[in-house]
Amino acid sequence: MSLFKKETVARKLPRHIAIIMDGNGRWAKKRSMPRSAGHVAGAKTFKNIARYCNKIGLEYLTVYAFSTENWKRPKDEVESIMNLLRDYLKDAENFKSDNIRVKFIGNLEPLADDIKELIKKDEDGSKDATGLNLNIAINYGGRDEITNAVKQIVKSGISAEDITEQTISDNLFTANMPDPDFIIRPSGEYRLSNYLIWQSAYAEYWFSDVLWPDFKPKHLEKAIDDFNHRNRRFGGV
Ligand code: FPP
């Protein structure tokens, strides 16, 4: 027997991964397809990656599906994303068998009534799941979320001296969740785009040129490997 036993160090999973699902439009353009086809492919990747995260035992996954700024896109593109959301929600039973708990974050008020009903059904139907906590950000904007939190705090009547960072966190859509410790953005863009701007204060970031529809579990594995080599000091030494 060798004196030098090979040590295998268990890899550390982030607790909460947040993904900006970017690059659907360019993926479609490269194939001379309409942008909506890119979103269809992106939605497939989303389901695949969510299931994979559940399989490896991740606690929280938050995906950016539609931002407060995305309403500026052409009407038919907005429609196509909303229809994908409808399809996903109607198909939510499939996800239930995966033991995934789903929550939607963002200002859901302006969404169509049928979507809001389906969202409620999906959240209620999956609330006892004990696997992955999946957050889907729809009509989400970090600044909008913080503004909303401030309004809630003022309305609660709390005195200014009693407001702490925790008070703000408790009034965000992500209240009671750990902050994302790992943010992934594919498609070669290096921006946060108003995503989880309060929560990501100490997150690690991972960027890749892969377009979201091409993003596979092997890319996530590479990202997690890289996360394991980061030295997180949280402002200490
Ligand atoms: C950004 O890529 C992507 C979006 C704004 C939409 C993301 C939506 C999905 C992946 C579908 C989600 C569906 C469900 C069911 C949650 P882009 O269009 O900005 O791409 P580009 O930068 O290449 O133009």
pLDDT per residue rounded down to tens, the chain (237 residues): 445 555 567 889 999 999 999 999 999 999 999 999 999 999 999 999 999 999 999 999 999 999 999 999 999 999 999 999 999 999 877 677 899 999 999 999 999 999 999 999 999 999 999 999 999 999 999 999 999 999 999 999 999 999 999 999 999 999 999 999 999 999 999 999 999 999 999 999 999 999 999 999 999 999 999 999 998 777 887
C-beta of residue 30 within 8 angstroms of C-beta of residue 104: no
Protein residue with its CA nearest to atom 3 in ligand 1: 22
State if residue 65 touches ligand 1 by the CB under 6 angstroms criterion.
yes
Strand positions, DSSP E, the chain: 16-20, 60-64, 101-105, 133-137, 182-185, 204-207
Which pLDDT score is estimated for 77?
Answer: 96
Give catalytic residues, as residue numbers. 22, 70
26 lines ligand 1 (CB under 6 A): yes
If you take atom 2 of ligand 1, which residue's CA is the nearest one? 22
Measuring CA to CA, which residue among 214, 211, 220, 213 is closest to residue 40? Answer: 213
Question: If you measure from the C-alpha of residue 208 to the centroid of ligand 1, how many angstroms do you get, rounded to a whole number?
Answer: 16
- Asked if 230 and 203 count as a contact pair (C-beta separation under 8 A), the reply is no
Q: Which atom of ligand 1 is nearest to the CA of 46?
A: 10
Give the max Cα distance, the chain.
Answer: 70
Distance 65 CA to ligand 1 centre (A): 6
pLDDT at site 32: 98
Surface-to-core class of residue 204, CB atoms within 10 Å of its CB (0-12 exposed, 13-18 middle, 19+ buried): middle
Its sign, for the CA torsion 22, 28, 31, 37, is positive
Centroid of ligand 1 to alpha carbon of 66 (angstroms): 7
| Whether the CB of 21 sits within 6 Å of ligand 1 | yes
What pLDDT, on the 0 to 100 scale, is given for residue 94? Answer: 66
* Ligand 1 centroid from CA 104, angstroms: 16
Q: Where are the domains of the chain?
A: 16-227
Integer CA distances (angstroms), 116 to 34, 58, 79, 112, in order: 27, 27, 15, 6
Pocket test for ligand 1, best of 21, 89, 91 (most atoms within 8 A of CB): 21
Counts of helices then strands in the chain (DSSP H, E): 8, 6
**CB atoms near residue 6 (< 10 Å):** 5
The fourth-level CATH superfamily of domain 16-227 is Decaprenyl diphosphate synthase-like (3.40.1180.10)
Q: How far, in Å, from the CA of 57 to the mean position of ligand 1?
A: 25
Q: Which atom of ligand 1 is nearest to the CA of 189?
A: 22
Give pTM, 2 decimals: 0.94
